[in-house]
Structure formats: C-alpha cells, structure tokens
C-alpha cells in the first residue's frame, strides 16, 4: 500500500477542505500560483457518505468529488496529492463509499472528517460529535481502512466542550490512521477565539510515545508560510493545514512572502471566474464566487468601489465587463 504521507519531505503543507471553497476551480488556481514544493496536499469539499449512498442524493453530492482534467494534469506536474474528504456516522456506509471512491475515482487518499463543528451536523452524531463517541469513531476508521488500499487519515479537534487531547489522540492512534490533522479548537468554539497550539503540541508528545511513524499536522490561525514553518519547529508537528489563511492571501504557498500587485490580483479574479464558469456554468450558483472576490479586490486604490460593483454582478459576463472597465479606467498605474 502506497502511503504518500510518510514520503513527503516535512514540513507537509496542506490546504484544508472547506465547504463551497475547495472545489476543483479554486484548487486549480491555488496550485497554479503556488511555488513548487510549498504545497503538498489538497482536499475536496466535505462529502457525505450518506448522500453518496442515496440513489437520488448521490448526483448532487458527488459533484464535490469532481476533478477537472486541467486540475488533474497540473497536480501531477507539481507532485501535489489530492485527498477525498468524507463524513457521516455509520461504519458500514463508510466502508461501502470508501470502496466506491477507491474503485471509481482517482484520489491519492481518503480523509475522515471528525472535526466539523457545525451544530446541525454535530446534532446528527457526525464529524466532531464523534470525539465523544470514540468506539464508533474507531469502527469508522477501521471500516474505511478495510475498504481501500489508499491511506486513510483523520481531521479532528481537541474536544467538544473542553480539551480532551490526551484521551482522544490515544484512541485515534489505536486505529493507526495514515495521518492526523488536529485543529486547536474545541467544537464549542466553532471558529471563535484562538486555536490552542499547546494542545496540538500535547498531541505530538502522545504520538511520539505511541506511534512515531504517524504524521501529525496542526491547524488553526496560520496566516503566512513563514508562520507555518515556525510553528512546525516550535510545536513539533510534521506539517500545517491552512484554512481561512488562504482568504488573507491566495499566494500563501510561496516560501517568500509575495506582495501582489493590483493587476495580478485582478488577473486571478478573472482566472478564477473563468475556471468556475468552465467547470460549473449552469450547474452551480454563480453567486458562490462572490465570497472570493474580496480576496482579489483588496489592498489597492479603488478596491472598495470595485468590490461593491462585483457584489452587484449577476453573471460571469458582468464580472468580465466590470474588470475590463476598471482596468481601462485605472490604466497602468500601480498603487
């Protein structure tokens, strides 16, 4: 069984799976503008095993596993691995869908979501709710591992109402997942407060005692590549997973801090829109793109007015026209 997790030179750098964010379009864009060797792993959006197992729901849910041909070519060129992230709470369904994804798709690994803190997901006993159901969590990991030759990893948090890092890490390590990514917040925090990297460091100590060969990645409040490297050294993790940090800087995965000019930002705004239109035109809602436009339309004179216009756009053509008009108006002046 090939396990790429142990073959990547540390620090391992990954972009987190994010709802309505890490689709094939955005993954391709991030891979395009990342420095070779600075981004190792990309993940799909969260994919429900129950949805994949449903005769009607499957068509919509399986969109999360779509990989465009251009993305696949680029990832192979750059040596970036792509992992399907799945969630649910029934071991037998995990087994069935893990086997199906392995046989019918072309992913490098499977990751089990045991960290999503969203209340309606937790209420149904999935994702971070599994932290308080360790026996079931173990059964899910084992069932998934039995169904595939691909490495099966876990992304999780340090607890639900309070940190339970020692207990939970010990239970996870018993199942020997390919890797563990630990977000330094409890479920109750959602995305609030600060991530506790001392708890992540505790997890590394436990891993070192019980199974030193399993990589541990830290997640939470990382805003630059330099900070990623610093935290790997400071807290002993084998790598870092970046979530919301990518919204501060899509050029995150570059070893030297990149100061992007206005024209570069607008070029990527158009690039992202074109990728999304090509992949999802007529399938997904165009308005999904608007959450990204503030990433690109920021940090230069006139950015606020440009953002306002983009928020009022109703179509891809509107966006191309707005950017074209803005570029002509501003000319070649840089701010």
Catalytic residues: 116
3-state percent breakdown (helix, strand, coil) of the chain, nearest 5: 50, 15, 40
Cα separation, 313 vs 302, whole angstroms: 17
CB atoms within 10 A of CB 310: 22
Cα separation, 33 vs 163, whole angstroms: 37
Residue pair 262/268 in contact by the 8 Å Cβ criterion: no
Residue pair 108/140 in contact by the 8 Å Cβ criterion: no
Which tokens hold the place of 280? 């999802």
CB atoms within 10 A of CB 168: 25
Residue pair 63/20 in contact by the 8 Å Cβ criterion: no
Cα separation, 84 vs 68, whole angstroms: 14
Residue pair 232/10 in contact by the 8 Å Cβ criterion: yes
State the residue for tokens 């008009």.
325
Residue pair 248/223 in contact by the 8 Å Cβ criterion: yes
Cα separation, 159 vs 297, whole angstroms: 37
Cα separation, 237 vs 180, whole angstroms: 10
Helices (H), 105-178: 119-123, 134-146, 165-173
In terms of Cβ atoms closer than 10 Å to its own Cβ (0-12, 13-18, 19+), residue 59 is exposed
State the residue for tokens 């990204």.
292
């Amino acid at each position: 069984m090939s396990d790429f997790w142990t073959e990547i030179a540390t620090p391992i750098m990954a972009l987190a799976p994010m709802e309505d964010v890490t689709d094939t379009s955005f993954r391709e864009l991030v891979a395009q503008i990342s420095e070779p060797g600075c981004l190792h792993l990309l993940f799909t959006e969260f994919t429900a095993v129950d949805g994949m197992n449903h005769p009607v729901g499957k068509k919509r849910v399986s969109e999360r596993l779509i990989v465009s041909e251009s993305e696949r070519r680029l990832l192979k060129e750059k040596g970036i691995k792509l992992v399907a992230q799945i969630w649910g709470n029934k071991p037998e369904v995990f087994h069935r869908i893990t086997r199906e994804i392995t046989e019918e798709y072309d992913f490098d690994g499977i990751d089990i979501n045991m960290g999503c803190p969203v209340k309606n997901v937790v209420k149904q006993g999935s994702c971070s709710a599994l932290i308080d159901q360790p026996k079931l969590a173990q059964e899910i990991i084992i069932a998934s591992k039995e169904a595939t030759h691909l490495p099966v990893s876990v992304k999780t948090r340090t607890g639900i109402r309070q940190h339970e890092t020692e207990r939970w890490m010990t239970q996870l390590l018993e199942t020997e997942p390919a890797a563990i990514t630990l977000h330094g917040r409890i479920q109750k925090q959602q995305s609030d407060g600060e991530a506790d990297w001392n708890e992540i460091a505790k997890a590394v100590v436990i891993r070192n005692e019980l199974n030193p060969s399993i990589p541990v990645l830290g997640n939470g409040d990382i805003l630059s590549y330099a900070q990623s490297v610093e935290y790997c050294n400071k807290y002993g993790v084998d790598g870092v997973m970046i979530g919301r940090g990518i919204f501060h800087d899509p050029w995150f995965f570059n070893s030297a801090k990149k100061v992007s000019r206005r024209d570069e930002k607008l070029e990527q705004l158009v690039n992202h829109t074109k990728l999304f239109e090509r992949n999802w035109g007529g399938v997904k809602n165009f308005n999904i793109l608007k959450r990204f436009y503030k990433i690109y339309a920021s940090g230069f004179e006139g950015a606020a007015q440009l953002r306002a216009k983009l928020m009022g756009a109703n179509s891809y053509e509107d966006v191309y026209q707005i950017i074209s008009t803005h570029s002509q108006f501003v000319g070649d002046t840089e701010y």
